[in-house]
Structure 1
Amino acid sequence: MRGATAWSSPIDPMAAEFQVPVYFDYLATFSWALSGAIVALRKRCDIVGVFVLALLTSVGGSILRDGIFLQRTPPVLTDPVYLPLITLATLLIALLHQHIIHLQVVDKLVSTIDAIGTPAFAVVGMQLALDAGIPLPGVILVGAVSSVGGGVLRDVIVREIPFILQAGQFFALVVLLACIVFLVLTLALQVATVHAAWATIGLFFVVRTLTIRYNWQTRPLLRDEDH
């Protein structure tokens, strides 16, 4: 048995009560696959490039989460649903590319899709970390990496500074808020995990949408006049 500490997650005795349905992972995977495919379309990739970027974006975070932190086989290798989901997202964007590419709000469309996938992946990552008995600060870290890892890899591959590293619209702070809210709801307030997960996704989506709508931004620590 794992030794309990003040920062240990209390998940072990009642793990079954804290299970997030697998469709949260499917929802996140499909959302991030759409995001990666749209970015690939904007970068003028062919169909293979669109699929590869959709694949990397949608499962990159879970591969980092499982391979580095949780030391388990990523579900994309064990669950037959993931690759068809990513393929569906690729084909959907490929079929609609003429309509999407002319939209003046492509960046906002990607941000909106990310606003669904990000908290869903965070919830799944935190659930797995709780099941593994990781202390709560580590649970938050795993949730954050799970939620933004694919987006970071997507941006690196297309040679852009990852969005989460740039000064601009609130994102990292909203991810942190979502992770804390989920843990408070499930562990402190004993809210049913499914309800807590949907509440977390809803909160993140609302805050991100408001951030995009009103352009709430952070500021760089070093400004041009400081050089």
Structure 2
Amino acid sequence: MDIIWYMFDMIGTIAFAISGALVGVARKMDIFGMAVLALATAIGGGIVRDILLGYFPPNSLRNVVYVTVVISVTIIVFIMYNSRYRKHAMGPRSRAGYLLADALGLASFTVTGASAGFKLYPELPIFIVLLGTITAVGGGIIRDMLAQRIPSVLKEDVYALPSIIGGIVYYLMVISSWAGEAVYGAFTVVLVIRLLAIKYNWSLPKVR
């Protein structure tokens, strides 16, 4: 389980690092600004998760791999946007790439957060679901605040809801003796719902 957890945590880290760096590009930041947003997105939610679980220093600050991966991803994105591939990177594919990376990060961190919560507090389903959601959306909230944007989770966009549903699916599968498949099931549910929300422009009700 530890290997699977680490795999999803690294998928989420890479995916959110890409989305954070791309927000930096969109906001016309330099490479340092891109790195700050990438780090905030990729490890921000995990830091909040670890603090809530009593892990200090947080895992991403104890393991140099996380920061190294995020910085490496930032450099790659920076090079792509300053090379002969710039015209392709700045097109519609850039937006699609950002949304896909963000969806992958959302799904991956929902799983790692929920599973970490279940490991310590299996008797607290609400905590497990909320921990998965906080892990998944926390970094994005920090990123958007740094970029002076309204956080996606606070707008009408269907963003946090897939994570909440995924956390519930994870918990129900684990207590139903589907523990081995729970991470994959929850990951798939979050990813599919988020991608469908993007494709069909689903949104939550708001005051008009």
Q: TM-score, normalised by structure 1?
A: 0.83
Which of these residues, 86, 98, 102, is aligned with residue 110 of structure 1? Answer: 98
Aligned to 2:6: 22
Which of these residues, 46, 52, 57, is aligned with residue 36 of structure 2? Answer: 52
Task: Give the superposition deviation at 1:20.
Answer: 4.3
Taking the aligned partners of 1:205 and 1:132, their CA distance within structure 2 comes to: 25
| Structure that is richer in helix per residue | 2
Unaligned runs of 5+ in 1: 1-16
Aligned to 1:12: none
Taking the aligned partners of 1:46 and 1:89, their CA distance within structure 2 comes to: 15
Taking the aligned partners of 1:160 and 1:104, their CA distance within structure 2 comes to: 21
Aligned to 1:78: 62
Change in 2 beyond 3 A, CA 1:142/1:47 = same
Runs of 4+ with >6 A deviation: none
Q: CA RMSD in A?
A: 1.8
Structure with the greater alpha carbon radius of gyration: 1
1:18-75 deviation digits (Å, cap 9, x = unpaired)? 88431111111111011100000111111111111101110000111112x1121211
Give the partner amino acid of 1:120.
S
* SS of residue paired to 1:81: helix
Taking the aligned partners of 2:187 and 2:60, their CA distance within structure 1 comes to: 22
Taking the aligned partners of 1:126 and 1:19, their CA distance within structure 2 comes to: 16
Aligned to 2:126: 137
Give the partner amino acid of 2:98.
V
Are 1:208 and 2:198 matched, yes or no?
no
Change in 2 beyond 3 A, CA 1:136/1:84 = same
* SS of residue paired to 1:111: helix
The answer (yes or no) to whether the contact 1:20–1:124 under 8 Å persists in 2 is no
Change in 2 beyond 3 A, CA 1:157/1:181 = same
Taking the aligned partners of 2:3 and 2:173, their CA distance within structure 1 comes to: 14
Unaligned runs of 5+ in 2: none
1:138-184 deviation digits (Å, cap 9, x = unpaired)? 1111111001000010111111111011113x222211111111111
Taking the aligned partners of 1:66 and 1:18, their CA distance within structure 2 comes to: 16
Of structures 1 and 2, the one scoring higher in RCO (CA 8 A, sep 6+) is: 1
Task: Give the superposition deviation at 1:106.
Answer: 3.5
Equivalence map 1:1-227=2 (5 Å): 20-67=4-51, 69-73=52-56, 74-97=58-81, 98-99=86-87, 101-133=89-121, 135-168=124-157, 170-188=158-176, 190-193=177-180, 195-220=181-206, 222-223=207-208
Identity of aligned residues (%): 29
Taking the aligned partners of 1:79 and 1:18, their CA distance within structure 2 comes to: 15
Taking the aligned partners of 1:199 and 1:216, their CA distance within structure 2 comes to: 22
The answer (yes or no) to whether the contact 1:20–1:127 under 8 Å persists in 2 is no
Give the partner amino acid of 1:122.
T
The answer (yes or no) to whether the contact 1:19–1:127 under 8 Å persists in 2 is no
Change in 2 beyond 3 A, CA 1:95/1:65 = same
Taking the aligned partners of 1:83 and 1:18, their CA distance within structure 2 comes to: 20
Taking the aligned partners of 2:133 and 2:29, their CA distance within structure 1 comes to: 29
